[in-house]
Structure 1
Amino acid sequence: MTKKTPRGRRLAAALALGGCLAIAAPATSAGAAPADPVPTVFFGDSYTANYGIAPFHQDDTTRFFCFRAKENYPAVATRRLADKGVTLDVRSDVSCGGAVVRHFWEEQETFPGLDLKVPPQQDALKADTQLVVGSMGGNTLGFTRILKQCSDKLRAPENGLLPGTPVDADEPASTCAEFFGSGDGKQWLDDRFEQVGWDLEELLDRTQYFSPDAKRVLVGYPRLVPEDTGKCLTAAPGQTELPLADIPQDALPFLDQIQKRLDDVTRKAATDAGADFVDLYSVTGSNTACDGADRGIGGLLEPSQVKIGEQPLPWYGHPNEKGRDLQAQQVADKVEGILSR
């Protein structure tokens, strides 16, 4: 893999080519929470959009397949903050299912073949933006490809709507932990984590460039696999499929390690850039996909609230309403603390 050029030169070159250089306003000093509404932008992937929760926004044709819930965690967190006297002026929520980190600065094709392209998410940033919040990185890592490497059911044609292909379709799903633990599989995974780190660094640089006064908040991902993987061998109440489908039990600790590593990479990117980080992984260990009635994550093949026609789409491991509320609470608490500094 070719290492990128130093971030300062790369960012300057990209902005110059785009012809969109801006004059940075002087930064304001830190203080108490502003009395006026805080101009805010939310960005991110399906975990910010809260794919799976209905109803979702359908008023913009180009963003139809973003599946952004009307009651996603940005909307719920904004209300919780308002109840505490902290008012966000949400200028934009540009989160979109399927987004990789580079879609922060590049167009995103939301559905292959339909020519529906969403503008770069950074277009929402303005000189007066004061708060930028969102989650990205899981799709750049290729988490759905990892899941498909470990599951025959997710490789099946009827689950083709789940993006991505197995990393190596010639390797059986039953040996995925061994595949990713050494050789080409391990190298692929290491390269993906390196790319996530680079791209999050770029995202945070660009955020500071376009909105120099903004508080930047990266939000991590909730935990998918519990410490006790035996919980994953029982279907949730009312369900017939296991929460993590046919992924081998010996691969579940490995999937959890991947999530923890992604959490660590995201935290480091935020810390290095002087941004804030919301650690969802550490507070959602009792609300994983395998926690039955307490689950905050919908099972991989559990029907979600989103339908195409009359056919519900699976949750594919995304937060349900309980999980969304956990996201919103942690984000609201973090933002309240930031704006009160």
Structure 2
Amino acid sequence: MRKTTTPTARRLAVAAVALGSFLALVGPTAAAGAAPADPVKTVFFGDSYTANYGIAPVNNQDNEKLFCFQATQNYPAVATKRLADNGITFDVQSDISCGGALVEHFWKEQELFGGIGKVPAQQDALKEDTQLVVGGVGGNTVGFTSVIKQCSAKLRGDEGALLPGSPVDPESPAAECKTFFESGDGKEWLDYQFERVGGDLEEMLLRMSYRAPDAERVLVGYPRLVPQDTTKCSTAAPGQTELPFADIPQDALPVLDQVQKRLNDVMKKAAADDGADFVDLYAQTGTNTACDGADRGIGGLLENSKLEVGQPLPWYGHPNEKGRDLQAQHVAAKIEEVLNR
């Protein structure tokens, strides 16, 4: 299945074609580094952080896609508009981001929450002429929601019923989750999860190259959820009564941050090893975490989002509109850099 073209050779080929087309259009005196003249054929992929779960309205072009909770104004849509203002236009072949996606759903069909339907493997959207593939996935494969439920008694109950995943060990009290993840079975579980996500990301990036051999690939990391100063998390955001991380113990918040930082490092390495580009949102959103009050870019675990299904759905730690705009800003900047080099 895999082609043997190296990332370097592929980039040289893409650059040669792009340079030839550019010079033919504008002549030998044009400056280097100008934006592509024609719309860039683009596919967006990923999980709920690309779909921007929690932001309304939701894309409901078909009933099954409705339960991907993909916002019509997710960061791919906002970044597309932002780039158009800078003269870079997209021919968006597809946005196949879907809430709950694992890395393996890039090549396997995904069963939607509650078994309400299935969506095709995300790789099916890529075409031979796709020029750009952008998105992020990995948090569900690591099992971040299971980590959260291990540390929260509230989310093990009805308040977390709509959040996929189960605690890693329901017999171990939520109040002891720091110790659980730092030794014994919890640490062993985390090590296995990270080994799995690293291998799956490698497979995904190779499949992108096979399906769309001339495409630039941009892997997008996750925005930071927990601040360096976790004491900020002991205060509710303006207008809220719940703490940003609900009942998760104060001493467990650094554990959540360490899991997220480790995931970020695994994603960054996978991109570098396969010649893809990486958007390090974790490094760029440290002042817009769930605990940054009015400046928060992340909705609190039990803070009401903009979505309603009979009643408001919680954010469950996803980017709010401010966070979505930060995602779009940094992703657009990386895309512009990639397309102009």
> Of 84, 87, 104, which aligns to 1:85?
87
Whole-angstrom distance in 1 between the partners of 2:222 and 2:61 = 28
Q: Is the 8 A contact 1:288 1:296 kept in 2?
A: yes
1:145-185 CA distances to partner (integer Å, 9 max, x unpaired)?
A: 00000000110123211000000000000110100101111
**CA positional deviation for 1:313:** 0.3
Contact 1:50 1:72 in 2 (8 A): yes
- 1:128 aligns with 129
Q: After the TM superposition, list the runs of 4 or more consecutive aligned residues in structure 1 that deviate by more than 6 angstroms.
A: none
Give deviations 1:58-94, integer Å, cap 9, x for gaps.
1211111100000000000000000000111111000
Equivalent position to 2:106, from 84, 87, 104 = 104
Cα deviation for residue 29 of structure 1 reads: 2.2
* Partner in structure 2 of residue 288 of structure 1: 289
1:320 alignment partner in structure 2: 320
User: What is the identity, as a one-letter code, of the residue corresponding to 1:38?
Assistant: V
Is the 8 Å Cα contact of residues 113 and 164 (structure 2) preserved in structure 1?
no
The correspondence for 1:45, drawn from 29, 47, 50, is: 47
* 8 Å CA contact retained: 1:27, 1:212: no
8 Å CA contact 1:63, 1:110 repeated in 2: no
Output the amino acid matched with 1:103: H
Query: 2:48·2:99 contact (CA, 8 Å) conserved in 1?
Result: yes
Q: Bigger shift: 249-258 or 39-48?
A: 249-258
In the other structure, the counterpart of 2:72 is 70
1:12 Cα deviation from its structure 2 partner: 4.8
Cα deviation, residue 113, structure 1: 3.4
Aligned partner of 1:6 in structure 2 is none
1:111 and 1:266 map into 2 onto residues whose CA distance is 25
**1:304, 1:34 → 2: CA distance?**
37
Distance 2:180 2:270 in 1: 28
Q: Which amino acid aligns with 1:326?
A: L
In the aligned structure 1, how far is the partner of 2:211 from the partner of 2:284?
Answer: 32
Q: Under a length normalisation based on structure 1, what TM-score does the superposition of the two structures give? A: 0.91
1:248-267 deviation per Cα after TM superposition (whole angstroms, max 9, x unaligned): 00011111111111000000
Give me the whole-angstrom Cα distance separating, in 2, the residues matched to 1:28 and 1:48: 26
CA RMSD of aligned residues (A): 1.4
Task: Quote the sequence identity (%).
Answer: 71
Unaligned runs of 5+ in 1: 1-10, 14-23
- Does the alignment pair 1:243 with 2:229? no
**Alpha-carbon deviation of 1:28?**
2.5
Alignment match of 2:14 (pick from 28, 52, 55) = 28
Taking the aligned partners of 2:128 and 2:61, their CA distance within structure 1 comes to 27
Which aligned pairs between 1:63-212 and structure 2 lie closer than 5 A? Answer: 63-114=65-116, 116-212=117-213
SS in 2 for 1:66: coil
Measured in 2, the distance between the counterparts of 1:160 and 1:64 equals: 19
SS of the aligned residue for 1:167 comes to: coil
- Distance across 2 between alignment mates of 1:189 and 1:250: 18
Partners of 1:184 and 1:104 in 2: how far apart? 29
